[in-house]
Amino acid sequence: MKKDSAPKLVIVGSIGIDTIETPREKRVEILGGSVSYACAAASFFVKTGMVGVVGTDFPSEHRNLWKKMGIDLAGLQTEEGKTFRWSGVYEANMDNRRTLLTELNVFERFTPELPEAYRDAPYLFLGNIAPELQLHVLEQVRSPKFVLIDTMDLWINIAREKLVQVVGKCDMLTLNESEARLFTGEHSLMDAAKALLAMGPRFVLIKKGASGSMLFSKTGIFLLHAFPLADFKDPTGAGDTFAGGLMGALAESGGTGETEIRRAMLYGSVTAAFGVEEFSLERLAVLDRKQIEARAKMLRSMCAIN
């Protein structure tokens, strides 16, 4: 691969075949996984490289969709066996979700290996995988300008020490409010963010679902409400879509400061709002930059105070 065609953003995470039940609809064996949502969102902004694993059963139509979206697949591994399966059911209010099945399959033996062309990528998003694998990725990149890390309750509970270690090497940590409380033992999000910043990252981004997100740094706080939607179909992967859109927009800007991150959050929020309108990548697959810009303008004006 030519140097100038190397991805500007690399994203590592899970690839799943999901079965999802909402009060209105059940969808069986659809494309999911943190890296799938995040790369799809980021691909509207910059060339994005995917690092993940699928089994030999993985449908070629999903791979073709990623290619159509312009995602670089040089970091996608195919291993003998079945792709990771996940299944969840949403309660009537769509806020609470119960996991029905997690079948790791090839994901259990996943060791992320970055192709040579990915190792100089200036922007890196360590999606939700085991902290020791996130560390393994960090060891392979040469001098990234900005690294975002995501995690989940599982790793906070079973691999806390490694997680603290890897968080300390990243520029920004993103997690949802219950995870921030679990990780720090602090109920107040202000106190939780302070404890998380003390682990080393320059920024902590706490996600609050449809209520939006809060960016904390040593010098202040920025609040952004989610783009208000009258209706949505499936919130699965919304956090990954938000983070992917944010990192794509940040990489496109070339910056790493608070001003650029605030603007990138706006794009993350808008991209996630499109993503939840349909299951899987179905809405993102037919989305274009013009539609993103139109909603970004609307969200900006909804937040403006003079």
Nearest CA among 142, 171, 173 for reference residue 155: 173
Smallest separation (angstroms) from ligand AMP to the CB of 67: 20
Nearest CA among 254, 255, 249 for reference residue 299: 249
Smallest separation (angstroms) from ligand AMP to the CB of 123: 20
CB nearer to ligand AMP: pick between 115 and 127: 127
Helix (H) or strand (E) holding 197: helix 189-197
CB nearer to ligand AMP: pick between 113 and 116: 113
Smallest separation (angstroms) from ligand AMP to the CB of 116: 26
CB nearer to ligand AMP: pick between 236 and 256: 236
First to last CA, the chain: 49
Smallest separation (angstroms) from ligand AMP to the CB of 170: 18
Q: Which residue matches tokens 């991150």?
A: 261
CB 247 within 8 A of CB 264: yes
CB nearer to ligand AMP: pick between 132 and 191: 132
Contact set with ligand AMP (CB under 6 A): 14, 16, 18, 32-34, 86, 102, 128, 154, 236-237, 239-240
Which whole-number Å values give the CA distances from 248 to 1, 148, 234, 298, 300, in the listed order? 21, 11, 22, 20, 18
Smallest separation (angstroms) from ligand AMP to the CB of 85: 8
CB nearer to ligand AMP: pick between 34 and 43: 34
Question: Phi-psi bin for 70: left (phi > 0), alpha (psi -120 to 50), beta?
Answer: left
